[in-house]
Structure 1
Amino acid sequence: MVKKQIPVIVVAGFLGSGKTTLLNHLLHNNNGVRIGVIVNDFGSVNIDSMMVAGQVDSTLSLSNGCLCCAVDVSDMDEMLDKLAHSQSEIDVIVIEASGLAEPRNMIRLVLGSENPRVVYGGLVVVVDGANFRLTRSTHPELDQHVGLADLLVVNKIDCVDSAERDVFTEVIRGLNPRAPIADTTHSRVDPALLFDFAAAPQPLPGQQMSLDELLRDDHHDHIHTHYEAVDFVSDTALDARAVTKFLENQPAGVYRIKGFVNFDIRGYTGKFEVQTVGDHVRITPLRWKAGEPRTTQLVVIGSGMDSAVVRDMLSECIRVEGVELHPDAMLGLHRYTVGA
């Protein structure tokens, strides 16, 4: 089994919604995360204040250790292979889809990749809040895109009055009742909602900050949308059927779930790694290390989710003391389990 898998996040949205602004925001607020950027467009796209020609296999190294590539969709899989290989130092790959790209095809491309080092990291659909009605009438396919999204970024929220906001929020919730909705200005989504990163090292006294550090927009007042995280720990094994129900009926606002679960069922006494993004669930059977406590540890990450509901649903997954489950209880999780 490949030890490191790189999440591939697809960012979609119609022209002018704020996709490139979101991408530049992530590049300036990556806190040391090395981002591989794939731009699926046929024109020229301004990334990090540099022009990247829209031709196949055009790769540019950015000053902060990130890479930017511009490709045709037919060469996307080849570029994934170039970014995600055994010696790769990339931590996350972001695909900025053309404004005319069909998100469903982009998702299939990532899910269908034969590269064992990449894993689907979610579909982020950027919606122009200021022009929602117009975009929807001009591009009826927007409804389908919204319905597919794992995360909805409603941008330009500062240009929308509260009444209009209530109207399109109701419409969006009707199209996608579960995905988190992040209301933003200038596409400023907290990167921690999308991917993991280590805290940026603090400069030593008297040390001058680098250009990347000066550009970083990490002041809390500047990031309009914050993420929420719920930590769950249980020393008692979990009920596999209850976990299946939770994963298949996640509360609204949940974007990612990650961690390890102890089921302690005959034939399934190992450690199970759980990784989800939206409705996409991956469970990997592992082994407990010698002396490692057999404890369930999960983190649920989202925006606008009801943390109390999340905690209650997870608490309901704790198995009743003394109850031994039949191995058939794991059947519901088999469809999500990948090989060790």
Structure 2
Amino acid sequence: MPPSGRKVPVTVLTGFLGSGKTTLLNHILSVRHGLKFAIIENEFGEVGVDEHVIKEDSEEQVIEVMNGCICCTVRGDLVKVLKRLRDRLETFDGVIIETTGMADPAPVAQTFFVDPEIQKDYHLDCIVTVIDSKHVLQHLREEKPEGVENESVEQIAFADKIILNKTDLVDDAQLAEVVAEVKKINSSAEMIKAQHSQVDPTKLLGVNAFSLDRVLEMDPEFMDTEGEHQHDNSISSISFKFEGEVNVNKLEMWISEMLQTKATDMFRYKGMLAVKGMETKYLFQGVHMLFNGGFEGGYKWKEGEKRECRFVFIGRNLDKILLEKKFMDCKVLSEARFNTGDKVEANVPGGWTKGTILKVWDDGNPYRIKLDNGTEVWAPDDSDDFVRSVRQKVEGGYK
């Protein structure tokens, strides 16, 4: 229980898919401010990724993860989590809730006004909405079926602070258009420009910015907890998880192929992968055509930790069977065909060239090969398309 009379402040981080919420959360946790938080993390899908990359700055920090839409089926779970944390609230300076990008913040905010026990121990301090400056306009202007909410509009409307993130990806004219469109929805929220979600945490935490009066003026039916929140049924989440490792070269080739054909429908995709031949976790994320992946961040596999791959897609009219097949095609299923010292031929510019295997699974590649001319190359896949046994000339051809 918190000290008598003290209510623990709650900050809600919201924003459409790929806006930079988890990056902002990690930034808040990494800045030296001397504060401790309980973190409630929400994923729109059965397989979570973000909870594996949230930085833990203290043993006192608690991370709770809920799957589904926090404003729908797991709203009751949010109440349960908040009540479960009550016994430890005296060790925290605040609670931070990161919602899924598909969440309407209104039902989340309602939680702190309709349950007497929650009201007693918590107060809603601020709703922070993160905006992807490059893609937000297409989502704000998207025509939805009758009765279906536009989550990106709702997230801006309920915001106390709006972070105009990824300003480095747009020019001044585009940013001005974004600002004008946002002000049409919410002219009272403070707007903060940012790149890579780098915002001073003191502008977001403990600011007592949430105003129930403002929300009721905007939405008189805010306290109607029986109202239904209807998502666009064409938008879905597809998640995969398996124990094992992938060939990162095959993965990146597939992602590139997908972006050429399905980028418009890919609102968000992210993953945490075990890559064969690498001790560091491969983290990637993307929004439409913008893809970023690599081993940056230094998240190494711990001794004894199960090496597994997690992948989440969120988008419109997703083909689950095809996506799962493409993902599983990247999995390494067998041992390498060649060993160090074996003589092989490598398919390099100019044709097949003889060489020797220097190393098996080097820097995420199945083979590192030293050609007979002294050049060193990597084979990106363990197949005859890239590396094969030395062919011997026989009567009538080669074998």
Q: Shorter chain as normaliser: what TM range?
A: 0.5 to 0.7
- 1:121-132 superposed matches below 5 A: 121-132=125-136
Write out the 4+ residue segments of structure 1 that deviate beyond 4 Å after TM superposition. none
Q: Which protein has greater RCO, CA pairs closer than 8 Å, 6+ apart?
A: 1
Identity among equivalent positions (%) equals: 27
Q: Superposition pairs for residues 174-253 of structure 1, below 5 Å?
A: 174-196=184-206
Counterpart of 1:100? 102
2:93 paired residue among 91, 94, 99: 91
2:211 to 276, 279, 294: 279
For 1:310-329, what aligned pairs fall within 5 Å after superposition?
none
Q: Which residue of the other structure, out of 61, 73, 76, is the alignment partner of 1:66?
A: 61
Question: Alpha-carbon deviations, 1:276-318, whole Å to 9, x = none?
Answer: 424247xxxxxxxxxxxxxxxxxxxxxxxxxxxxxxxxxxxxx
Q: Could you tell me how far apart the structure 1 residues matched to 2:163 and 2:172 are?
A: 17
The two structures have a TM-score, normalised by structure 1, of: 0.52
3-state SS of 1:167 partner = helix
Change in CA separation of 1:180 and 1:158 when aligned onto 2, cut-off 3 Å? same
Please say if residues 125 and 153 of structure 1, whose CA atoms lie closer than 8 Å, have aligned partners that are also in contact.
yes
Conserved? CA contact 2:161–2:204, under 8 Å: no
Amino acid at match of 1:131: H
**Offset of 1:50 from its aligned partner?**
5.6
Tell me the SS of whatever aligns to 1:134: helix
For structure 2, the residue ranges without an aligned partner over 5 or more in a row are 67-73, 145-149, 214-399
Q: Offset at 1:82?
A: 2.1
Alignment match of 1:164 (pick from 169, 174, 190): 174
Distance 1:119 1:109 in 2: 10
Q: Report whether the alignment pairs 1:148 with 2:152.
A: no
Paired residue secondary structure (1:63): coil
| Counterpart position of 1:24 | 26
> Secondary structure, in 3 states, of the residue corresponding to 2:101?
coil
Letter of the aligned partner of 2:60 in structure 1? Answer: G
Partners of 1:10 and 1:50 lie apart in 2 by 16
TM-score, scaled relative to structure 2: 0.45
TM-superposed deviation, 1:20: 0.7
Give, in angstroms, the shift of residue 110 of structure 1.
2.4
In the alignment, structure 1 segments of 5+ residues that lack a partner are: 52-60, 197-255, 257-275, 282-340
2:53 — aligned with what? 49
1:117 counterpart letter in structure 2 = D
Structure 2 distance, partners of 1:87, 1:40, is 20
- Root-mean-square deviation (CA, aligned residues, Å) is 2.4
Q: What SS is found at the alignment partner of 2:134?
A: helix
Paired residues of 2:156 and 2:182 also in contact (CA < 8 A): yes
Question: Which residue type is aligned with residue 135 of structure 1?
Answer: H
Which of the two has higher C-alpha Rg?
2
Aligned residues of 2:166 and 2:194 also touching (Cα < 8 A)? yes
Q: Distance in 2 between matches of 1:29 and 1:159?
A: 25
Q: CA deviation at 1:48?
A: 6.8
Q: How does 1:244-263 map to 2 (within 5 A)?
A: 256=207
Q: Give the conservation status (yes or no) of the 8 Å contact 1:155–1:186.
A: yes
Contact residue 37 and residue 94 of structure 2 kept, 8 A? yes
Relative to 1, partners in 2 of residues 1:30 and 1:120: Cα closer, same or farther, differing over 3 Å? farther
Question: Secondary structure at the residue paired with 2:91?
Answer: coil
Distance in structure 2 (CA, Å) of the matches to 1:158 and 1:142: 21
Aligned residues: 194
Q: Partners of 1:31 and 1:127 in 2: how far apart?
A: 25
Aligned-residue offset at 1:40: 2.0
Residue 62 of structure 1 contacts residue 68 of structure 1 at CA under 8 Å; is this kept in 2? Answer: no
Distance 1:77 1:62 in 2: 25
SS in 2 for 1:85: helix
Contact (CA 8 Å) 2:103, 2:151: kept in 1 or not?
Answer: no
Structure 2 matches for 1:322-337, cutoff 5 A? Answer: none
Contact 1:126–1:154 (Cα < 8 Å) also in 2: yes
Letter aligned with residue 92 of structure 1: G
For 1:174 and 1:108, the matched residues in 2 are separated by: 24
Superposed CA offset, 1:7-47 (max 9, x none): 11111111111111111111111522111100122431324
**Does the 8 A contact of 1:10 with 1:97 survive in 2?**
yes
Deviation at 1:88, TM superposition (A): 2.9
